[in-house]
Amino acid sequence: MNATLRYLLPRLAWTLLLLALLSLLAHWSDRLARKGNDKTVLRAVLFINGTLGDKSFFDSAAKGMRRAERELPVSVRVVEGGNDPTRWESALADLADSGDYDIVLAGTFTMVPYVQRLAGEFPRMRFVMFDAAVDYARCACGNVHSILFRQNEGAYLAGYLAAMLLQERLLPGLPANAGLGQVGGMQLPVIDDYLLGFGAGARAANPSIRVAIQYANGFSDPAAGKDIANAQMAAGAGLIFQAAGATGQGVTEAASEAHRYTIGVDLDQYEMYRHSNPQRAAAIVTSVLKNVDVAIVQALSLALRQQLPYGRADSLGLAEGGIGLAPHSEVLDRLPQPLRQRLDAVRADLVSGRVHPPSGFARANTEARG
């Protein structure tokens, strides 16, 4: 027995030592493999200063992150910050400080001061600011790329279309003297960019058309959007343009119940409702597409190739594919060819620069200078 133990114990010890070495080798091989992969995979996080489900701006941004994950060697995360603004800066700082990400994306004017401060605090972190721009002259923001959209171009095209439809009596069920309404989430330069562009396009098609405007004082209140829409329709609006985030869902609901019409923004809202709520989809003429999803994919693709131009802002409009009109709806699919040609001509004038829609940003700058 003792002889057997003397024979087995050294071999058992060597076996255990070999197993331990193999386990250690596997551990370090896995770590080295992950480290190698980290060199080729960009770790990106999108912070949403709100919640998903708006069927508009934030959903479009999240769509871009999902598409980037499918098409690029990128790992992504989407973080919903909720509707309490006092928590947004600390939440964004935690993401920048975590060490889990190479690039942080955030959108809207509200996040600009937070990104400006954090860019200086975390100079090794890269930031993408979309639908707003940091003030490069006033912050240490050489690690921030900003993406702006010329939404007034798409809104001008939508306004021209809306006025044509009313003038030609192509929207069934509306009185001959129906006018247009507009609902903005808040009076901000980016929202005014939409509303000014829409009004200018409508008046280019019909100088005498009536265009009402009201702000909802928020982007997450569908009930307020519905109340405003009902008031505008009672005053004669047959079609309402809404640039109001989730608040705009109430506008669409009110229009569909009253057999009136709407034009949405950011995402193709007709397509979103076409199967789930055909009655609501029937009220949607088109949407001014702000292709946030496309812009995010392009930015992450450039970041992967180390070609994203940090330290500056880029502007995307009709010519760059950053803005457009949704191509299909029950109304658009019946649009007569002569009117479609008129709309194409207006689009060409916008792309070429022959037509310059009024800008909400230019107006804000003028007012700021007094």
**Does 31 map to a domain?**
no
Contacts of 270 (CB under 8 A, 6+ apart): 281, 284, 286, 287, 326, 328, 329, 330
CB-CB neighbours of 68 under 10 Å = 25
- pLDDT tens for 9-28 read 555 555 555 655 555 455 44
Whether residue 51 is predicted with pLDDT greater than 60 in this model: the reply is yes
Domain boundary among 117, 149, 181: 149
Structurally, how many domains does the chain consist of?
2
Give one word for 361, left, alpha or beta, with left for phi > 0 and alpha for psi -120 to 50. Answer: alpha
**DSSP code for 283:** T
Give the Cα separation of 197 and 263 in Å (integer).
Answer: 13
Element (H, E) at 325: strand 323-325
Phi and psi for 364 in degrees, rounded to 5? -65, -40
Asked whether residue 78 falls in the same domain as residue 218, the answer is no
Beta bridge pairs of residue 146: 129, 313
Q: What is the model's pLDDT at position 4? A: 56
Give the Cα separation of 166 and 253 in Å (integer).
Answer: 20
Q: What is the model's pLDDT at position 38? A: 46
Domain of 106, in residue numbers: 38-149
**Does 117 map to a domain?**
yes
**What does the pLDDT average to over 348-359?**
97
Q: Which of 39-53, 199-213, 221-235, 301-315 is predicted least confidently?
A: 39-53
Give the pair of three-digit tokens for residue 204: 């280019």
Comparing 22 with 130, which gets the higher pLDDT?
Answer: 130
Asked whether residue 357 falls in the same domain as residue 340, the answer is yes
Contact status, residue 170 vs residue 334, Cβ threshold 8 Å:
yes
Asked whether residue 114 falls in the same domain as residue 242, the answer is no
**Does 12 map to a domain?**
no
Q: What is the model's pLDDT at position 136? A: 98
Whether residue 45 is predicted with pLDDT greater than 60 in this model: the reply is yes
**Does 26 map to a domain?**
no
In this prediction, residue 361 has a pLDDT band, given cuts at 50, 70 and 90, of confident
**What does the pLDDT average to over 228-236?**
98
**Does 299 map to a domain?**
no
Kindly report the pTM of this predicted structure: 0.83
* CA-based torsion, 261, 262, 267, 273: positive or negative: negative
Comparing 209 with 365, which gets the higher pLDDT?
Answer: 209
Domain boundary among 130, 149, 168: 149
In this prediction, residue 262 has a pLDDT band, given cuts at 50, 70 and 90, of very high
Asked whether residue 117 falls in the same domain as residue 176, the answer is no
Asked whether residue 223 falls in the same domain as residue 362, the answer is yes
Asked whether residue 285 falls in the same domain as residue 350, the answer is yes
Q: What is the model's pLDDT at position 23? A: 56
Give the Cα separation of 203 and 156 in Å (integer).
Answer: 10
- pLDDT tens for 56-96 read 899 999 999 999 999 999 999 999 999 999 999 999 999 99
Asked whether residue 127 falls in the same domain as residue 215, the answer is no
The per-residue pLDDT of the chain, averaged, comes to 91
**Does 119 map to a domain?**
yes
Give the Cα separation of 211 and 178 in Å (integer).
Answer: 10
In this prediction, residue 350 has a pLDDT band, given cuts at 50, 70 and 90, of very high
Q: What is the model's pLDDT at position 56? A: 87
The domain spanning residue 109 has which CATH number? 3.40.50.2300
Asked whether residue 124 falls in the same domain as residue 254, the answer is no
- pLDDT tens for 283-329 read 999 999 999 999 999 999 999 999 999 999 999 999 999 999 999 99
Q: Which of 369, 364, 358 is nearest to 153 (CA)?
A: 358
Asked whether residue 141 falls in the same domain as residue 179, the answer is no
**Does 307 map to a domain?**
no
**What does the pLDDT average to over 113-124?**
98
Asked whether residue 214 falls in the same domain as residue 249, the answer is yes
**Does 295 map to a domain?**
no
Asked whether residue 238 falls in the same domain as residue 174, the answer is yes
**What does the pLDDT average to over 101-107?**
98
Asked whether residue 59 falls in the same domain as residue 91, the answer is yes
Domain boundary among 122, 149, 176: 149
- pLDDT tens for 30-43 read 444 444 444 449 99
Share of the chain above pLDDT 90, in %: 85
Whether residue 250 is predicted with pLDDT greater than 80 in this model: the reply is yes
